Amino acid sequence: MNSFDSYLSTKLKFENDDNFLLSKLLQKDHNSRPRVGEIIDTPWFNDPKLKALNFIMNLESNDQKKNIEFLEKLPKIIGMFENKIIVKRFLPALLKAIKVETLINPCLPAIFSICESPSFNISFAKEVWPKLRDLFKLRSLPAAAIYFLISKVQFIGEHISQTDFSQYFLNLICKAMDCNVPKIQFVVSNNMKFIAKSIDSLSFKNQIFPRMIQIVSTTNSKTLKLDMLNNIKALYTKLDQNLINDKLLGSLEKVRKADNNNDICMCICDIYLEIAKIVNLEGIANKILPNLISMLVSGNITKSNFDKIMNLIKTYLDQIKTNRYNELINDGATLNVDSLASTNKINNDFQSNQSKEEDNFMDSLLASSKPITTTNTYNKGNE
């Protein structure tokens, strides 16, 4: 017993209350030992960390309101627990709980607070993603969950394959862009450059770009509109010339007509400046220049921006002049050569015909037996 008492005092180092409980439990006389109810009521069993662990292991049977309150606070207290408990107990319980729709929203922040912490050394692709991706298969998902998952698109995208990203995450992104909730659409816009990098060009052109145009054309949020226009300016190289001429230019014209705001007009001008080298002359003449001139006439712009638009118009006019003038010179040169060739042909034909007529005339004279009386006829005529 002496060695056991020594072990307790040197290794366990319980608090006074815990020592008291332990001494009671080790009584030789079983009648002197505390009952279960007494044990549960002791401070040791009311330790907050122990309560938290017990609570999270029974999320499915707990009161849902209490679950939500607990899970919302969990990310703030999770650092109090040992890493092993977090990885082996908390994380599996949270991943299991997201199958319950009402627990999706409060569970996600707790899950990602664990996954993003380097101290836990979690393999997201192997331990978390196989269970988390079931959320992406749901037909409907709470708006708060969509917002949260989109906000974590870079972390998720860096830890899963491009195939999984296109198969699961792209669909969620499209839902977020279609939801008409500016806050959710804005978090997509904030991550648009990473999204565009993570998917193939065809998916961007067919699925993402049309939705970008739709948001720019319909949103009432100036901040969202400007942010999405800046994304278009940054990502226009992913579009082909036909898409720019057929879809982008017409959409920008509609946006300008709907909102002549100075910031919107200048953002559109920045896009025009970027695409100047790849847009065709028809697009410049029929869509860009009329839109720029309308900005000058009716746009709510500053003097400095007025000058900027004028310079942009001059740039496009110079581009038209360069292309068309060269074409006109080439066409003119071609016409001169053709005209010269045609003139030479006419002259040659005329000379050939004249020569034939003269030969025929001489032949007829030689064949005639009558003398030539040109002088006599002339004199008789004079008389």
Contact call for residues 147 and 113 (beta carbons, < 8 A)? no
Whole-number Å distance between alpha carbons of 125 and 131: 10
Q: Which residue has the higher pLDDT, 356 or 42?
A: 42
pLDDT level of residue 376 (50, 70, 90 thresholds): very low
Whole-number Å distance between alpha carbons of 271 and 252: 9
Examine residue 305 and state whether it is found in any structural domain, yes or no: yes
Question: Which of 175, 166, 237 shows the shortest CA–CA distance to 198?
Answer: 166
Residue 53 has pLDDT above 60, yes or no: yes
Q: What are phi and psi of 374, to 5 degrees?
A: -60, -40
Residue 41 has pLDDT above 80, yes or no: no
Examine residue 121 and state whether it is found in any structural domain, yes or no: no
Whole-number Å distance between alpha carbons of 199 and 193: 10
Contact call for residues 106 and 71 (beta carbons, < 8 A)? yes
Supply the pLDDT for residue 263.
Answer: 93
* pLDDT tens column, 258-275: 888 899 999 999 999 999
pTM above 0.75, yes or no: no
Examine residue 96 and state whether it is found in any structural domain, yes or no: no
* pLDDT tens column, 297-306: 987 888 999 9
pLDDT level of residue 357 (50, 70, 90 thresholds): low
Supply the pLDDT for residue 369.
Answer: 45
Which of 30-34, 59-63, 266-270, 377-381 has the least mean pLDDT? Answer: 377-381
Contact call for residues 271 and 232 (beta carbons, < 8 A)? yes
Examine residue 329 and state whether it is found in any structural domain, yes or no: yes
Residue 173 burial (CB count, 10 A): 24
Mean pLDDT (whole number) for 349-364:
56
Examine residue 383 and state whether it is found in any structural domain, yes or no: no
Supply the pLDDT for residue 64.
Answer: 83
Q: How many residues does the chain have?
A: 383
Q: Which residue has the higher pLDDT, 44 or 114?
A: 114
pLDDT level of residue 121 (50, 70, 90 thresholds): confident
Q: Which residue has the higher pLDDT, 356 or 76?
A: 76
Residue 351 has pLDDT above 90, yes or no: no
Which of 154-158, 176-180, 358-362 has the least mean pLDDT? Answer: 358-362
Containing structural domain, residue 299: 240-345
**Total domain count, the chain:** 1
Dihedral angle computed from the Cα positions of residues 102, 107, 109 and 114, in that order, rounded to the nearest 10 degrees: -170
Whole-number Å distance between alpha carbons of 30 and 319: 101
* pLDDT tens column, 184-212: 999 999 999 999 999 999 999 999 999 99
Q: Which residue has the higher pLDDT, 338 or 194?
A: 194
Q: What are phi and psi of 26, to 5 degrees?
A: -95, 10
Residue 4 has pLDDT above 60, yes or no: no
* pLDDT tens column, 213-244: 999 999 999 999 999 999 999 999 999 988 99
